[in-house]
Structure formats: C-alpha cells, structure tokens
C-alpha cells in the first residue's frame, strides 16, 4: 500500500510518522451542521497533531452562514479536518471532518471518496442544521450513526423523539457524545465500526 505523502500532511514531528508496520488504512468522515463540534472531535480523538483548516469568520459569511445558536464562534473550517487513530500495529483509521456551511459542501465529493461511513454530529439546540446533512448521506447511500454532542444547556430528548425529529430509520444508531473527550469520541467511532460490521455480516439463517 502506498502511503507516500502521508507524513507531510500532518507535519514533520516524529510522533506523527506512520509506523512501518501499518499495512491497511481505513477512512471515516465526521459531518454535521455549522458549529456542532466536528473540529473539536477530530482534535480530541486524533493521536497525531490534527490538520485543520480553521479560518477567522469574516464579513463574507454575513447573510450566507447562519450563526444562530453559535454567535460566539469566531472561526470556521473551510476545507477539512484530518486526524489519525491506530487500531493495531497494522491498521490505522483516518478521520476527516467536513465543513459545516453549505457553501463549502462541494468539497464533500473528495472527502467521501473511499470512506467506509460517517458520524453525524448533532446539537439538540439546532437540530434543523442536521436535516440537509442527513439527507445528503442518505442520497449517497453512505452508512452513518448519529452522535448527540452534549453542549451545556442543550435540551435532552428521549431517543424515540430524536429519531422522529431527524426522520431516522430504526436501524440507524443514536449515541451520546462529548466531542471534547478523547474517550467519548473514540466510543462514538467504535459505534460506527460496530454498525458497519453489522451491515456487512451475512443474514442469520
């Protein structure tokens, strides 16, 4: 497998170098609306210094991006976030975060190429920003799980109400997540891995 260029993506530090034992790499994508915590999750879970494309928000986004509920946010992802997790000596998981604003969604095609599945981060204060994201994944046929990021003062709803509000099929997992926590973020990714395994397993009988 060719990993040429993978070291230069994340910087020159020796801790960032891909071990020689690695033979397989898989890819998942973190998606969600503007300000739901995608960059935070990638940074929390990555074992290397994450690559981010955060830029200061400017007047160009006024009237285009909807900052309702995240008025204090001063930066935004304009291309992608990137991190890495070693599953074993031979297997690594690459984690890509997408931009939240619709004006950057043209980048999705490249980010989703070769991806096994996705995590949809949602904020219960602004569930509506997730509707179009979920719809795009369903249109693409990308398997996904929904992770509810626990923001302070965000309302809590029973799972059946969330599922109904997001119009999710019964088989799509919904998990709780604290995007600031490495353990919680890893558990979220493991929930996606378990779901993908279930989808790939042959039917019983």
Cα angle vertex 57, ends 109, 150, to 5°?
Answer: 75
Q: Residue 17: its pLDDT value, please?
A: 67
176 within a domain of the structure (yes/no): yes
CATH of residue 13? 3.40.50.300
Q: What are phi and psi of 97, to 5 degrees?
A: -105, 135
Is there a contact between 112 and 141 (Cβ–Cβ < 8 Å)? Answer: no
Counting the structural domains of the chain, the total is 1
Q: Residue 49: its pLDDT value, please?
A: 87
- Domain coverage including residue 12: 6-200
In sign, the C-alpha dihedral spanning 132, 137, 143, 148 is negative
Q: Residue 67: its pLDDT value, please?
A: 52
Q: Residue 137: its pLDDT value, please?
A: 92
205 within a domain of the structure (yes/no): no
Nearest to 189 by CA among 81, 117, 90: 117
192 within a domain of the structure (yes/no): yes
* pLDDT tens digits, 113-150: 899 999 999 999 999 989 999 998 999 999 999 999 99
89 within a domain of the structure (yes/no): yes
Low-confidence ranges of the chain (pLDDT < 70): 1-17, 53-79, 100-108, 204-205
126 within a domain of the structure (yes/no): yes
């Amino acid at each position: 497998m060719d990993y040429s260029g993978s070291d230069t993506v994340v910087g020159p530090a020796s801790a960032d170098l891909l071990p020689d034992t690695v033979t397989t790499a898989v890819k998942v994508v973190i998606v969600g609306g503007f300000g739901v915590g995608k960059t935070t999750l990638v940074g929390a879970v990555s074992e290397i210094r994450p690559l981010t494309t955060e830029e200061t928000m400017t007047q160009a986004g006024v009237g285009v991006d909807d900052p309702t509920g995240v008025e204090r946010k001063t930066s935004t992802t304009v291309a992608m976030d990137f991190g890495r997790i070693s599953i074993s000596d031979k297997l690594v998981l690459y984690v890509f975060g997408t931009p939240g604003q619709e004006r950057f969604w043209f980048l999705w095609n490249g980010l989703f190429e070769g991806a096994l599945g996705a995590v949809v981060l949602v904020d219960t204060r602004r569930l509506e920003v997730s509707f179009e994201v979920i719809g795009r994944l369903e249109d693409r046929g990308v398997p996904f799980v929904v992770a509810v990021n626990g923001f302070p003062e965000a309302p809590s709803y029973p799972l059946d109400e969330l599922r109904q509000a997001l119009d999710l099929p019964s088989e799509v997992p919904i998990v709780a997540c604290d995007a600031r926590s490495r353990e919680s973020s890893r558990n979220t990714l493991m929930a996606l891995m378990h779901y993908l395994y279930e989808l790939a397993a042959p039917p019983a009988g």
